[in-house]
Amino acid sequence: MSESLGSGRPPTPPQKPATALRRRLAELRGPATVARPLDARALAALAANPGCRRRALLDGTGVDKGALAEAIGSPSAAFGQSQFAFMRGNAFEAKVKGDGGTELLRLLHERMGAGSGPPADATAPDLAAAGPEGRAARTALALREATAAGSWALLDHPMLALEVAGSPAYLEPDAVVVHPDGRWTVVEIKSFPMIDAAADPSKVGAAARQSAVYVLALERVASLTDGASVDHSVLLVCPKDFSNLPTASVVDVRKQVSVTRRQLTRLARIEDIADTLPPGITFDLDGQSGESLASAVEAVPAVYAPECLAACELAFHCRGRAREEGAVTALGRAMRGELGGLTTVGEVLAAARGESGDPADPTVAAVRRAAALRTEAGAPCR
């Protein structure tokens, strides 16, 4: 992982030339397959489970995990927005950004105390460019120009770059506002309602984790821009109560930024994972049988947790394998943490019955004590 993640320092030299890495990833994905972009939502989910090399490789390679799950005969975990919710979200975002972003900037002033009054002269830089790399470079230039000018600027759907596990990821927040004092604020627009000035905590948490990824990407640009700083409070804009009128709240994402930075740093580099694969392994969906693709998937180690069901298309496949192996991770990360070195259900039961395990091990002692209490209650450990 590059030290540039959130630190602002230039990326460390790659272990392989970038062209060689891209060629290797294209071979794994399939030369004729267009790579799926790695967005902030996927990065947040990846950061929540940094030990899963399978997801790191497939996401970094740009493999369509939903199509891969269907090809290997496993149901794809269904999550994400419905088409109706997607259209409603787009309509609400257009309303918030209408009239040059007047309403958005008013909410920013109202919630974050930005100056003496809502800015009326904010510029809206043109961020059009060829390809994600070009758009990211154009966004960085617009941010620097607005900061140097000491003026308000509203960047609509800027493109940010972040190096993840040695591979670039391109991210597109809803908006970024540049303040005259050089602060950059991420704006996240969601279609879930804010009722009585409060929204669903789980949805706000997901938005905060997603915004934290944008903040990390902005910090890299800010470190190279004189007078710039990235605000660790983001503006969350949602419909008010049961109407379509926008309202906003300020969400402090310092904790999410710290956790995401640490977790992304723990990710193994994608080329290191690829180097451990047997020769000839590919996830190309064209011309391969389900058995071959399943073997390719199993060649990459995975770490399953129940939380994966809400974040990964291959979750049902990984859950089935975890259950077949009796892995305690299938019971949840909290249970896995409590059981220490006992990694399978069989090991736990054997330790509980006194058939294995060091009695001096606190985990083994706790399991045996729990089994004794269960026996006293009339339900022997099986």
The identity of residue 228, as a single letter, is A
C-alpha closest to that of 172 among 205, 214, 212: 214
If you average pLDDT over residues 353-379, what whole number do you get? 85
Confidence at residue 255, expressed as pLDDT on a 0 to 100 scale: 95
pLDDT grade for 371, boundaries at 50, 70 and 90: confident
**Which pLDDT score, from 0 to 100, does residue 93 have?**
92
pLDDT, mean of residues 51-79: 87
Given a cut of 50, whether residue 130 has pLDDT beyond it is yes
Round to whole Å and give the CA distance between 358 and 365: 8
- The whole-angstrom separation of Cα 93 and Cα 6 is 28
Whether 213 contacts 195, CB under 8 Å: no
Q: Which of 273, 243, 301, 278 is nearest to 52 (CA)?
A: 301
Q: What is the distance between the alpha carbons of residues 308 and 320, in angstroms, rounded to a whole number?
A: 12
Residue among 169, 167, 170, 171 at smallest CA distance from 274: 167
Pairing of β 183-189 and β 233-239: parallel
Predicted pLDDT at 116: 53
Let me know how many helices (H) and strands (E) the chain has, helices first. Answer: 14, 8
Instruction: Give this prediction's pTM.
Output: 0.78
Asked if residue 235 has pLDDT above 90, the reply is yes
